Amino acid sequence: MRQTGLPARRTAHYLLMQITGEGRLVSELIADGALSDLSAEDRARAQRLATEALRGLDRADRMLKPYLKKTPPDHVVNALRLGVIELCGGEAAHGVVNAYVEIVGRNKRTQSMKGLTNAVLRKIAAEGPEGWAKRPVPLTPGWLRQPLVAAWGRDAVVGMEAAHFAGASLDLTVKGDPKTVAKAVGGNVLPTGSVRVTDAGQVSALPGYEAGDWWVQDAAAVIPVKALGDVKGLKVVDLCAAPGGKAMQLAAGGADVTAVDMSERRMARVTQNLSRVGLKARTVVSDAFAFTEKGFDAVLLDAPCSATGTIRRHPDLPYAKDGSEFGMLIDQQARMIDHAVTLLKPGGRLMFCTCSLLPDEGEVQVEEALERHQELEILPIDIPGIDQSWHSDEGGLRLRPDYWPDRGGMDGFYLALLRKPA
């Protein structure tokens, strides 16, 4: 007899093994078909289980530690972690324990640990949600936590970790009146104009999706285009444009938009998104450095980065990465800034931004860019809904997950607006 829920649980276990053991991201695994053999219901369940386990991994490990004399193989550890998440989420112990005992037993190398798995999960079941609630907010893995504490201080990082653990609500960028859309979808209008929806369910089923009234975009990611002000009639290039949220903002504001991205697959998604919301932009599949068209009023450079600001939505990142590639990204960002400046007409503006929490990918990049290009001027950013404390010393804007704690936080982001002399 086939056990209910086993396919989803086995897939969630596979995802955890690949992320924590092989350094792969959920997006990569899904693109490679990790969920393709599952029903729609099981796909959603597998992804939800893996996501919840990643958000609570440190807390799950703290719960398991008293019951393990030594750390078992990763195959068993990840089964136990998933078991903790389900049991502490209120799932019935019988089905959960049997499922993960079977997953452990199917691996020849861990068959002998079925008894251990059963015993440990039974003890966890006895603690249940009450035991889970007693544990502290999960800590960020040390390789990332240490530089964050050095940059922002321990209290700020504790606030970020609380935001990461809570996860992200759904934020919508609206073409028309935010209040009208907020009422239709059961959301709230944020100070910067985004509409935030909690417990949104299926995105495509929300009112206004088919009509193209809005698109999904974190509230922090909206701010770079807002900081450009009135873009109507301006010739603007959006480098590294996928998935297209900022290009859609620019187009909705009346700009003549060129969206550039090196990935044909990602650019197809940009085209689809533009079509759904009824907006137009020229799309170019090209490496940013190979795009040499000049004379733009503005360049929007959302540069490839560590993406450490997106952990609220992508809790796999600190477990799939170890920071070893960040030096290469930082060098690339500097070269991209230099290239972007050449695309501007005299008096044109460069909006540089990254979804990173690391100053080396934000504040430091801009400080060094201003040293390399002493003709550039950094412009003040002042838009509705922005707290004055978010401004950074060099003139940029620093956004963090611990901001707006009573509203559900935001992604970590850095942005700065630079102007080329006329």
Residue with tokens 């990643």: 54
Predicted confidence at residue 1, as pLDDT, reads: 36
Residue by residue, pLDDT tens for the chain (422 residues) are 345 689 999 999 999 999 999 999 999 999 999 999 999 999 999 999 999 999 999 999 999 999 999 999 999 999 999 999 999 999 999 999 999 999 999 999 999 999 999 999 999 999 999 999 999 999 999 999 999 999 999 999 999 999 999 999 999 999 999 999 999 999 999 999 999 999 888 999 999 999 999 999 999 999 999 999 999 999 999 999 999 999 999 999 999 999 999 999 999 999 999 999 999 999 999 999 999 999 999 999 999 999 999 999 999 999 999 999 999 999 999 999 999 999 999 999 999 999 999 999 999 999 999 999 999 999 999 999 999 999 999 999 999 999 999 999 999 999 999 999 99
pLDDT tens digit string along 104-153? 999 999 999 999 999 999 999 999 999 999 999 999 999 999 999 999 99
Q: If we measure between CA atoms, which residue out of 361, 370, 405, 369 comes closest to residue 387?
A: 405
The dihedral built from the CA positions of residue 80, 82, 84 and 90, taken in this order, carries a sign that is negative
Predicted confidence at residue 3, as pLDDT, reads: 59
Predicted confidence at residue 164, as pLDDT, reads: 98
User: Is residue 302 helix, strand or coil?
Assistant: strand
Note the residue count of the chain: 422
Q: Provide the 10 A C-beta neighbour count for residue 389.
A: 7
Q: Provide the 10 A C-beta neighbour count for residue 77.
A: 18
Spatial neighbors of 238 by CB under 8 A, at least 6 apart, are 246, 247, 250, 257, 258, 259, 260, 281, 300, 302
All structural domains of the chain, each given as residue ranges with its CATH number in brackets, are 6-134 (1.10.940.10), 169-217 (no CATH), 219-419 (3.40.50.150)
The dihedral built from the CA positions of residue 89, 91, 92 and 96, taken in this order, carries a sign that is negative
- Between CA 53 and CA 361, with CA 197 as vertex, the angle to 5 degrees is 65
DSSP secondary structure code for residue 352 in this structure: E
Please say if 88 is a catalytic residue: no
Q: If we measure between CA atoms, which residue out of 376, 360, 309, 317 comes closest to residue 163?
A: 309
Predicted confidence at residue 2, as pLDDT, reads: 47
Predicted confidence at residue 177, as pLDDT, reads: 95
Q: What is the pTM of this model?
A: 0.94
Predicted confidence at residue 201, as pLDDT, reads: 87
> Which of the residues 240, 305, 353, 355 is marked catalytic?
355
